[in-house]
Amino acid sequence: MKNKLVLTMLTVLILAGCASKPETEEEREPAEVILYQLAQDRINAKNYSGAVESLSRIERFYPFGVYAEQARADLIYAFYMSGDYDQAYAASEKFIRLYPRNTNIDYAYFMKGMTGYYQDEGLLNDIFALDLSKRDTSPAMQSYADLTEFIIRYPESEYIDAARERLIFLRNLIASSELDGAEYYMKRGAYLAAVNRANYVLKNIPNSTERERALRILKEAYKQLGYDEYAEKISSFETN
């Protein structure tokens, strides 16, 4: 009986020792796996700044690991959702450069265009601009070009409808901003400059919601310049 008790106690001690034995290097999860899981938890919790931190550590310390590629794709989203559109744009460009054959490459092109779109939402809301003639629409134009490239490259992408909606917005935004400049010139008697702005919209952005406004500005500018015959031609366009 005594021998059986000793044997039982030894067995319990051995099992307890095995249970408390620390993990070997081979048994531990790789640090990049832990970081990636942490990043996903933070994204799910909408802690996008924290996700950026975790994903950036993977990119910095494990740039060639199995999780590096996915981490760089997730960084685009994390930067975007945290409101850091400059970094989201840069992350999109980097992903496109490093992984041109990745299955998520269409997403990278889409987000490249989308970040520019959100950066330029303020163009129409900048009511404190002192000189509307100098308002810079080039970022919006770049975003329009990026989204156009995306649509041409990936017409079957799941993001295509969203991209088309953004293009409509950008087209109208650019046209409106150009005509703000035209009206600025009209108020200051720079009628030829106003003509150039209005003509630009009519020729280069013909399907915008600003077409009628462009025609009105053009007609008035021609009248002020003494070109009544051109103003009459504009009247015929307004009725069509």
Q: Is the pLDDT of residue 119 over 90?
A: no
Q: Is the pLDDT of residue 64 over 60?
A: yes
Q: What are phi and psi of 21, to 5 degrees?
A: -65, 125
pTM summary value: 0.77
| 176 compared with 132, residue with greater pLDDT | 176
> Is the separation of the CB atoms in 116 and 103 below 8 Å?
no
pLDDT tier at 20 (50, 70, 90 boundaries)? very low
77: number of Cβ within 10 Å: 18
| Widest pairwise Cα distance in the chain | 122
| pLDDT for the residue numbered 190 | 96
List the domains of the chain with CATH numbers.
30-95 (1.25.40)
Handedness of CA 35, 41, 42, 43 (dihedral sign): positive
| pLDDT for the residue numbered 223 | 95
Average pLDDT value over all residues in the chain: 84
| pLDDT for the residue numbered 200 | 95
The distance of Cα 160 from the centroid of its chain, to the nearest Å, equals 14
| 12 compared with 193, residue with greater pLDDT | 193
